[in-house]
Amino acid sequence: EFKRVFLPGLDRSFPWGRQDDIDNVVLQGGQLYAAMSRARDELYLSHAGPPCLYLEALVDTVEMVDQR
């Protein structure tokens, strides 16, 4: 558990590797969830361009700091 967790690079290129390999997509999604769940007080997610498929559902429910 950490006070703050920063997870950068969560744009359309994530999950990395073969995105048509469902095992890869599920594995990296699970790893992302585990990393996110380690944040005790603050969680920072960033992306350049459109967000990855895991963040698309969160866009309307989280506080956006900067949308450039």
Which tens digits make up the pLDDT trace of 11-34?
A: 999 999 998 999 999 999 999 999
List, in sequence order, every residue forming a beta bridge with 43; answer none if it has no partner. Answer: 5
> How many C-beta neighbours within 10 Å does residue 8 have?
10
- Is residue 8 a contact partner of residue 37, using CB atoms and an 8 Å limit? no
Q: Is the pTM of this model over 0.85?
A: no
How confident is the prediction for the chain on average, in pLDDT?
90
Residue type, 30: G
- Structure tokens of 32? 């992302």
> Is the pLDDT score of 68 beyond 70?
no
